[in-house]
Amino acid sequence: MKRTGLLMAVLVWAGLTFAQENEGNQYINSAEKLLSTDGRLVIGGYGEVHYNQPLDADVRNNGKLDVHRLVMLLGYNFSSKTQFVSELEFEHVEEVYVEQAFLQHRLNNYINLRAGLILVPMGITNEYHEPTTFNGVERPVVDNTIAPTTWREIGFGITGNILPASLKYQAYLMNGFNGYDGSPHLNGSNGLRKGRQKGAESFISSPDLALKLEYYGIRGLNVGVSGYIGSTESTLYNDMDKNNEAGLAKADSSVVGITMLGVDARYSLSGFEFRGQFYYTGLSNTAQYNTFTADSNGKPNDLGRAMTGWYVEAGYNVFRFCNTENELVPFIRYEYLNTHQQVEPSITANPAYEKNIITTGLTLGLTKGAVVKADMQFVKNGSDNAYSKVFSVGIGVMF
C-alpha cells in the first residue's frame, strides 16, 4: 500500500511520459497515423533489433541477438468516412501475427464505429508500443504480465475525440482470454499473458467490456483511465446441453472472472519527460479454477486472485537547447509488480512473483522515427538476495 500511495502521489504531482505529440497535445501511434493520413492506400511500419547481455560476476552468459519484431502497416481509405487499418507482424524472424485489422466508419465529428481485431485500450504501452514511443530497449515488464502487450482481441465498439472537452474515449465488446481449452492458460508465473487469443480462431462464451477515457486539455499532459470487465472463455461450454447441470458446473469451474483498472499519465515540459502507470486486476473463481486445472499429481494451479503493477519514469532531453533534430534522453524507470498480490487460502503466495525492476539508460533520437537505445536493467524478486542485471542495446524505427 505504501508503494501504491507513492505512485498515486507522483501521478497527481506530474501526470506522467515518453511519446511523440501531435496537434491537440495528444500522443500518436502508428494506427492513428494511418487514420489521419490522406490518400487511398497508406503504407507504414515499425521495427526493432535488440541485443541483450545478462551480467553475472560468477557465471558467464551468452548474449542474445534478435530481430525482435518487424511490423508492416497497411491502411486503405475507402472514403473520408470509412477506413481500414491493419498491422502484420513478424516476430523473431519466424513468427507471423496479425496485430490489428479493423474497419472504422465515422458517423460524425465525435463518434466512430470500429470492428475487427482491436487493441485492448488498457494503459499506455498496449496502444503506444512502437519503439520510438517509449524509453528502454524492451517494453516495461509490467506490460508483459499484468496487461500483456500486445493484447488484441476481436470485437466492435465506438471511439471518438471530443475536441471541445479535450477528451478521447473508446468502448468495445470483445472476446476474453482463453482460460481453458483442454489445458489452463493462466497461472501465477505468467499472469494473463498466455491467455491472449490474438484473433487466431478465437472462441467466445460471453463478451467482455473494455473502456478507456483520456484527457489532454493541459499542454503536454495526457491522463487516461482504463477499465476491463468480463470473464475468460472455456471450450467446455461448446456443444453443452443446457440441462446438463453437472456439465455446466464443470465448465463454470474452468472460468475466471476479471476486473481490471488502469490509471496512466504522461507529461512533457521544457525537455523533461515523465510517465507513470498503475494496474489493479481482481480475479474471481480462482479457487475453483486452480482446483479444476490441477496437474497430473493433483497439485493445484497457482493463479492469484489479485495482481498489481505500476511504474514511474523520468527523463530529460539534454539536446533541447542545441540546434539539432537529434534528441538524447537519459532516463530512469522503477517498476513493481506482483501476480500474487492476493491468493486463495488453498495456495501460498510465491515471493518470486513479486518483482522490483530498475531500468536506466539512454535514448538517442537520430531523427523523427529513428532511435538508438541502451540501458541497464536490474531485477529483484522476493526470493532473491540481489538484483540480476541485463545490459541491452537496440535500434528502432517507425514510419
What residue spans define the domains of the chain? 2-398
- Tell me what pLDDT residue 37 has: 78
CA atoms within 13 A on the CB side of 106: 14
Model confidence at 193, in pLDDT bands (50, 70, 90)?
very high
Q: Is 177 within 8 Å of 197 (Cβ atoms)?
A: yes
Q: What average pLDDT does this structure show over 74-81?
A: 94
- Is the pLDDT score of 92 beyond 80? yes
Q: Please report, rounded to a whole number, the percentage of residues in the chain having pLDDT higher than 90.
A: 86
- pLDDT at res. 25: 41
Question: What rounded mean pLDDT belongs to the chain?
Answer: 92
What's the pLDDT band for 61 if we cut at 50, 70, 90?
A: very high
Q: Is the pLDDT of residue 5 over 90?
A: no
What band does 34 get if pLDDT is binned at 50, 70 and 90? confident
State yes or no: pLDDT of 17 exceeds 90.
Answer: no
For residue 24, the model assigns a pLDDT of 40
**Residue 115: predicted pLDDT:** 98
pLDDT of residue 45 exceeding 70, the answer is: yes
Task: Tally the C-alpha atoms within 13 A of residue 8's C-alpha that lie toward its C-beta.
Answer: 9
How far is 372 from 122, CA to CA, in rounded Å?
27
- Would the pLDDT of 50 be above 90? yes
156 pLDDT higher than 90: yes
With a cut of 60, say whether residue 190 has pLDDT above it. yes
Q: Is the pLDDT of residue 31 over 90?
A: no
Q: How confident is the model at residue 20 (pLDDT cuts 50, 70, 90)?
A: very low
pLDDT reading at 7 higher than 70: no
**pLDDT tens across 312-323, in order?**
999 999 999 998
Q: What digits encode the pLDDT tens for the residues 206-222? A: 999 999 999 999 999 99
* Higher-pLDDT residue of 24, 119: 119
Is residue 191 predicted with pLDDT exceeding 70? Answer: yes
pLDDT class for 21, splitting at 50, 70, 90? very low
Note the CATH architecture for domain 2-398.
Beta Barrel (2.40)
Q: Is the pLDDT of residue 11 over 90?
A: no
Q: What is the pLDDT of residue 273?
A: 97
